[in-house]
Every structure is written in C-alpha cells, then in structure tokens.
Amino acid sequence: MADDTPQPEPKRRLRWYQYSLRSLFLVTMAFAVWLGWICHKANRQRKAVEAIEELDGLVMYDYEFDADGIPIRNPQPPGPAWFRNLVERLDFYNTRVTDAGLVHLQGLTNLEVLWLDSSLVSDDGVNQLQQALPNCTICGYAAEPAAAGREAF
C-alpha cells in the first residue's frame, strides 16, 4: 500500500548573510576610499620628511626619546610599520630651512613640537605655520624668547 498523503515541503533555511552584489560593491568601495585617504596622508607625510632631509633637517620620532626627552641610542621602533610614520617632533638645528621649507610641514597634523634653532626662518613663516598647525609648539626661532628653554620639551 502506497502512502498517498502529501509530504510537507522541507522548511526553507533563512539566509541571514544574504547580500546583493550592489551591497558588496558599496562596502568594497567604502573600504577603498578609506584606504586611499590613509595612503594619501602617508604619502604627504613622506614628501614632507624628504623635503626636511633635503634641507639637512633631522627627523626624529617619539620612540627615539625617553620619558625625560633625552634621545635614546639605537632605538627599536615599536608597533607595526605603518605606525612608525607618525611624526610628532622635529628638530631643525643649524639647518638651511627657510620659510619656503616650512610650507612642506603644513600637512603634518600630528606634529606636536618643532625646534627651529639656528635656522633661516622669519617670523612671518613661523606665524603661517602656526596657523596651519595650531596644536604644534614652535620653539627656538629668532623671535621666540630664550627663556622657554629646550629642557621643557
């Protein structure tokens, strides 16, 4: 005897992670735009560092100093390679840096301290840079009072 009763259809599984091709494209595009912006900032910083070094400037990073601000011998960079490119402190001691060279620093938004000892910058160049980098402390140029002292930074 054959069973003629209709069999119930198997339940359809709900697909929780079902996305359209359009959604995948939008997510990929958003990621590409974000990554492009990060690369743009890194490229701008790399060009600024090259310009600094071309003018006989010295670029030092925060891991190269101890807690008291004293340079460390043979420091090992911490963290991943992309993190090593964050410039926070620059020292232009006895270099040929001029106001034209300071223009290259305007993209370094992480810059916290800039020393311009014995450089060729004018007050106007320093003021323009200070407007572009309001969170940066610029020390050691001709019009800056000597009382601030290098030890404070």
Spatial contact of 69 and 38, defined as CB atoms under 8 Å apart: no
**For position 142, what pLDDT does the model report?**
59
Reply yes or no on whether the pLDDT at 15 is more than 70: no
pLDDT tens across 45-103, in order? 888 888 888 888 888 877 788 888 888 887 876 666 555 456 677 887 777 888 888 88
Q: Among 55, 94, 118, 116, which Cα is nearest to 127's?
A: 116
Tell me which residue has tokens 């259809």: 9
Percent of the chain with pLDDT over 70: 77
**For position 150, what pLDDT does the model report?**
42
**For position 13, what pLDDT does the model report?**
66
**For position 153, what pLDDT does the model report?**
41
Average pLDDT (36-45) is 89
* DSSP bridge partners of 89: 60, 113
Task: Give the separation between CA 50 and CA 42, rounded to whole angstroms.
Answer: 12
Buried b (16+ CB within 10 A) or exposed e, 44-58: ebeebbebbeebebe
**For position 14, what pLDDT does the model report?**
62
**For position 146, what pLDDT does the model report?**
42
Spatial contact of 75 and 63, defined as CB atoms under 8 Å apart: yes
Under the banding of pLDDT at 50, 70 and 90, the label for residue 105 is: confident
Reply yes or no on whether the pLDDT at 31 is more than 90: yes
What does DSSP assign to residue 104? Answer: G
**For position 61, what pLDDT does the model report?**
78
Higher per-residue confidence, 144 vs 111: 111
